[in-house]
Structure 1
Amino acid sequence: MAFINFIVWLAVCTSAIAVPESTLPIIDLGYALNQATLNSSCPYPLLTFSNIRFGAPPVGDLRFAAPIPPQTVNTTVNNGQQTVICPQATPTWASTAYAIVDGLTAAISSATSTTASSATASATSKSSIPAPAAGTSEDCLFLDVVVPQKIYDSSYAIEQRALPTNQSGELSESKGVPVLVWLYGGGYIFGDKQSQANPSTLVANSLADGHEGVIYVAPNYRLGLFGWQASSAFEAEGGTTNAGLFDQRLALEWIQKYISLFGGDPSRVTLMGESAGAGSIFHHITAPASYNTSSLFTKGITQSPALEPITDAQKTATYDETLLVASKLANTSITTLEQLRALPFELLYEVNFYIVATSYYGTFTFGPAIDGSYVPALPGMRLLNGSFDHNISIIAARNENEGIFFTNPTLQNSSAFDSLVQNNLPDATPETIAYITNVLYPPVFNGSYPYLTQFERGALFTQEFTITCNSYFLAKAFAGTESGKAWKYIFAVPPGLHSDDIAYTFFNGDTSTLNLGGGVVNATIANVLQDFIVNFAESGQPAASGYPHFPKYEEGRVYNLNVTELGKVIEDPDDNPRCNYWQAASWL
């Protein structure tokens, strides 16, 4: 993509032009009919098929269970206008965190009184729980497909749609285009397929300068206790730990079967995600070989792969709390999974909201957990032991200051730091806690460690334990394979907070757009990042025309995405004793 074309296109690819519905294509999936909307304002017009069902409603006996494909046939045309999102929740501490990043430096230096306990107190009564947002439903396993009209109308796509339904997905002599799949972030407790991302410009520009283009797919997946409930008792009663991961996997299986009908090549799928979405990819890559991950995607882009390790004790405590809160809100004793499944959705929504709201500062309570099957061990340990899919290419990425958003501003002394570590590692022995607080992150503020204050010490612990070391684990592991198919970049555009890069990944031309940290999006950096993504999906090589070469991750070489040092190759700051300690997981 030439930069001059990028700027011109962005100016005209930001709003859809109304088109009579009768002229818009309808795709027949065999079990459903879905009609597109058309954005004809782009140089390459885009078709969007919104809210395509990929899973049966996860209700009744399927609540808390692994998803299954659609079981019914619906002959009513779905025009995609009824957007559905999975049940959401938000920790109360997040309001403090957003206040901090709104006035970053001043807020951090002046915050002295808010505590995690007082910050959550206002959200713990039933009267303070808001009604579900519009479109919220347990029946939320839907996805969107955005495809350039040029690709949808290609001879390959037409040929595929002419095949019987049970033969769709079979490749012919002609080939489809790459597929880019987006998994949204949100701490595994909020988010949906549309809220973070408008892929119009990214997809339209994938056809620039003779490139073949990409098809974009974004699925929903279940959140909070609906998708991530766990514990041995929960499983013994028939619950599925990591149901949210299986939702994502079912969407990937749907892509293998149906994406050729849109013009996509099911053998060239790139899975991209941010935060919880990237953490999910981390788990898919390290799932046992019996799950045949590389048959579902061949490339991964993990932006800030976030994971809060959940111990057995934490799983049990959360499930017990779920039963206790459900009993209180239902005003009857709820002691089994069968009883939970029988509760009305509205009450279970309140249970989920309450539990998430009272999460310890910087945490979300729910998320992926070791299940002995799809997740037999922490992903970092699996990578260390070579137990991952070596056939996948990876771009591992993280932001410069991942930990600030998740660190309590009142962390001003060693006692508070010790409490932070203890709350994140509740099963750790006193000796382990002492090693972490005195050796790995000692209270030394003379510049010999990457922090000068107690708050910065806490932020470093938080980001390394949950995000930045994960990007190092991925890059190091894949660089060590025979092909060395690994790249890593650090998004360092100030302030470089967690999720600041989303505004760049899906930049649509408005340079007044603000990221989480309040910074105006830099169009040059956005252009480079989008080039990396598109070229990686197409050719397996992240590259941006006119900008420095992006080298593979060899000997810890990392690409710096920064306004003042764009393209400078630096040593990986995550290659340090702390990350190596976290990966070995002797602290478990």
Structure 2
Amino acid sequence: MLVLRNLLCLAACGSLAAATRSAHRPVIDLGYEIYQAVEEGNLTKSYYTFSNIRYAAPPVGDLRWREAEAPQENRTAIQSNPDVITCPQGTPSWQIRTSSQLNGYLETGIVPNVSFANLTSLLQTGQEDCLFLDVLVPRKVYDHVRNGSKVPVLVWIHGGGFTTGSKTDFGSPRTLLNRAVEHDEPVIYVALNYRVGAFGFLSGPSFESEGGLLNAGLLDQHKALQWIQNNIHRFGGDKGQVTVFGESGGSGSILHHITAGGGSIEPLFNRAILQSPAYFPYRSTQEKENAFNLFLGHANVTSIADARSLSSEALIAANAQSIGETLPYASPIYGPTPDGDLVLHDPKVHLARGEFAQSLEIITAYNSDEGLVLVPTIHTDAEYHSFLEAILSNANASTIAYIVDTLYPPTFDGSQGYTTQFQRVAKTAGDLIIDCNAVAAGLAFGSRARGYYFSTYPGIHVQDISYTFYNPESKGSYSLVDTGAVNVTVANVLQDYIAGFAVRGDMESEEDGLENEIPSYSPWGTMVRLDSEGIELIRDPGLDERCRWWASGVYNGVSA
């Protein structure tokens, strides 16, 4: 009898426990769909998580390579899906090969020989129906929504070279958000997916003539930001206090929104944190056409119309192949491209001209050795010259010659910031793809900008993400390069800066050891140096002739 009673309790009590847990998870009605916070296994957590909220219709079938449409109404069930959802992914195999050799290089200083023969596709994963976002809201905020509670909103736009990444790839924001609560300055956190690779950034004359949409990934981001404007009040968020932050391609995307339409399109946010703002030089018309044809070839079709009729599996594989099998900086390079509307010119050019959303406040930031993981290993002048021709497909011979002979001359005594060809190409790529974007933003925004310079060894690209999303259980580096244990003090300071900026528009932490208020970027290019050896104020090391030249846009055929 006791056994029977226990069996009955296992069924009934289990259902009761599930119902009790469900009752503790709030439900929110968005009009078109109804969502319930996901079960996280511990009801004492300080945040509710609403996972995988649909902000756009599935971009599949005839909606491929078109602007995302509003989601259809579906009120037949309450949505509560904790699954990890990513858009279709692709990773350059050459970059993986190079990065895997860098631990030895950092230990010995010997530049490895890396072969880029027989490159293969990687990351044939993800799903096309991926336009979702997550909302994490403090319980105390959500529980007082009916009383008119409104707090600032912090929006994460992920990076990944415009070919990979997702809203959940870089770890949990809980420690970051808990620090904000500890300072009695809670924020709501939103993270979003957007189309990447061939799904989000395919281009070329034939692609356009067939009705393909340029910069679909950027437009996805804009749609998600519009969703926030329309809906974040339901969670207790203030649509008038939205701060976007992102790293690498996410931050490069934000720069494109800041300069959208040459400053004529108002961004849907008030503040921006630009962590290593990265984007690639715009490709020549021929390179874009080559990339388009390569993708179609891998999909075994000859037109966008045919591609729209294919299965997701076929297109996901073609996307991964077109990215993974490409030689360093050969076509395709997916990313933002001029479209005559949202993207007119390189953001650096718009910033230099004063063509941007000047009412914003920003933090601009970059790392001390961004380029090391972004370039192939090279050993000779000829290889350096070939790299420039590949990555600067719009540049003419005289421009390439100026870079080679004057801007980054073959002088290896350390006076130019490098002692080997590999350091030379890393410095060039770091300046071109990231550093000078950050410098241009700081100079343009001036007194409305703050800045930090992350130099904790080795200071490589994406290393600071382990600090942005630091928590004691985090895995550490998001790179194949061993960057060592996270310095907890530096992580705490950076998280204080991020959360505090979203609330107050300044950078402040009781743990940074700085006695005075951190000044604005202008007029001296002042930044906070975040280093495990100490935190101090410095002058931006990127304020030099090189960044002034890159900001001119000459290499893209335009001028500031």
| TM-score normalized with structure 2 length | 0.90
State yes or no: 1:210 paired with 2:184. yes
2:201–2:216 Cα contact (<8 Å) kept: yes
Cα 1:574–1:43 change in 2 (3 A) is farther
* Offset, 1:274: 0.4
* Offset, 1:365: 1.4
Following the alignment from structure 1 to structure 2, what is the Cα–Cα distance between the partners of residues 515 and 340?
34
**Counterpart of 1:403 in 2: which secondary structure?**
helix
Query: Tell me, which stretches of 5 or more residues in structure 1 are unaligned?
Result: 1-17, 124-128, 160-173, 328-333
Q: 1:289-331: per-residue Cα shift (whole Å, max 9, x none)? A: 786434x10000011111101222322221122223333xxxx
Alignment counterpart, residue 528 of structure 2, candidates 559, 562, 565: 559
**Counterpart of 1:474 in 2: which secondary structure?**
helix
Aligned pairs for 1:170-319 within 5 A? 174=148, 176-211=150-185, 213-288=186-261, 292-294=265-267, 296-311=268-283, 312-319=285-292
2:122–2:321 Cα contact (<8 Å) kept: no
1:512–1:520 Cα contact (<8 Å) kept: no
* Offset, 1:102: 3.8
Following the alignment from structure 2 to structure 1, what is the Cα–Cα distance between the partners of residues 429 and 179?
36
2:49–2:135 Cα contact (<8 Å) kept: yes
Alignment counterpart, residue 537 of structure 1, candidates 502, 505, 508: 502
2:161–2:249 Cα contact (<8 Å) kept: yes
Q: CA RMSD in A?
A: 2.1
1:34–1:52 Cα contact (<8 Å) kept: yes
1:126 alignment counterpart: none
Cα 1:130–1:382 change in 2 (3 A) is closer
State yes or no: 1:140 paired with 2:121. no
Q: 1:166-199: per-residue Cα shift (whole Å, max 9, x none)? A: xxxxxxxx55100000011111101111011201
* Offset, 1:204: 1.9
* Offset, 1:384: 1.1
**Counterpart of 2:110 in 1: which secondary structure?**
helix
| Count of residues in Structure 1 that have an aligned counterpart in Structure 2 | 531
2:38–2:82 Cα contact (<8 Å) kept: no
Following the alignment from structure 1 to structure 2, what is the Cα–Cα distance between the partners of residues 563 and 226?
40
Q: 1:123-175: per-residue Cα shift (whole Å, max 9, x none)? A: 1xxxxx56843xx2111000000111111001xx225xxxxxxxxxxxxxx55
* Offset, 1:546: 4.4
1:47–1:147 Cα contact (<8 Å) kept: yes
Following the alignment from structure 1 to structure 2, what is the Cα–Cα distance between the partners of residues 522 and 538?
25
Cα 1:504–1:34 change in 2 (3 A) is same
Amino acid in structure 1 at the alignment position of 2:537 = V
Following the alignment from structure 1 to structure 2, what is the Cα–Cα distance between the partners of residues 541 and 421?
38
Following the alignment from structure 1 to structure 2, what is the Cα–Cα distance between the partners of residues 546 and 274?
23
**Counterpart of 1:587 in 2: which secondary structure?**
helix
**Counterpart of 2:370 in 1: which secondary structure?**
coil
Following the alignment from structure 1 to structure 2, what is the Cα–Cα distance between the partners of residues 271 and 350?
32
Following the alignment from structure 2 to structure 1, what is the Cα–Cα distance between the partners of residues 478 and 71?
37
2:471 alignment counterpart: 508
Following the alignment from structure 1 to structure 2, what is the Cα–Cα distance between the partners of residues 110 and 570?
31
Task: Tell me which moved more, 46-55 or 537-546.
Answer: 537-546
Alignment counterpart, residue 146 of structure 2, candidates 146, 155, 158: 158
Alignment counterpart, residue 545 of structure 2, candidates 564, 574, 577: 577
Cα 1:290–1:106 change in 2 (3 A) is closer
Following the alignment from structure 2 to structure 1, what is the Cα–Cα distance between the partners of residues 123 and 92?
16
> Percent of pairs identical after alignment?
38
* Offset, 1:341: 1.2
Alignment counterpart, residue 488 of structure 1, candidates 430, 451, 462: 451
Task: Tell me which moved more, 525-534 or 444-453.
Answer: 444-453
Aligned pairs for 1:77-116 within 5 A? 77-106=78-107, 109=110, 111-112=112-113, 114-116=114-116
2:122–2:324 Cα contact (<8 Å) kept: no
2:111–2:422 Cα contact (<8 Å) kept: no
* Offset, 1:510: 4.1
* Offset, 1:339: 1.4
2:308 alignment counterpart: 341
Amino acid in structure 2 at the alignment position of 1:419 = S
1:164 alignment counterpart: none
**Counterpart of 2:356 in 1: which secondary structure?**
coil
Following the alignment from structure 2 to structure 1, what is the Cα–Cα distance between the partners of residues 222 and 315?
25
| TM-score normalized with structure 1 length | 0.86
1:551–1:559 Cα contact (<8 Å) kept: no
1:362–1:406 Cα contact (<8 Å) kept: no
1:452 alignment counterpart: 419
**Counterpart of 2:66 in 1: which secondary structure?**
coil
Following the alignment from structure 1 to structure 2, what is the Cα–Cα distance between the partners of residues 476 and 375?
21
Cα 1:82–1:514 change in 2 (3 A) is closer
Following the alignment from structure 2 to structure 1, what is the Cα–Cα distance between the partners of residues 46 and 104?
40
Amino acid in structure 2 at the alignment position of 1:351 = A
**Counterpart of 1:503 in 2: which secondary structure?**
helix
* Offset, 1:432: 1.3
1:389 alignment counterpart: 357
State yes or no: 1:404 paired with 2:372. yes
* Offset, 1:95: 2.4
Query: Tell me, which stretches of 5 or more residues in structure 2 are unaligned?
Result: 1-17
Following the alignment from structure 1 to structure 2, what is the Cα–Cα distance between the partners of residues 571 and 423?
33
**Counterpart of 1:47 in 2: which secondary structure?**
strand
* Offset, 1:358: 2.2
Following the alignment from structure 1 to structure 2, what is the Cα–Cα distance between the partners of residues 576 and 83?
43
* Offset, 1:56: 0.5
Amino acid in structure 2 at the alignment position of 1:421 = L
2:444 alignment counterpart: 477
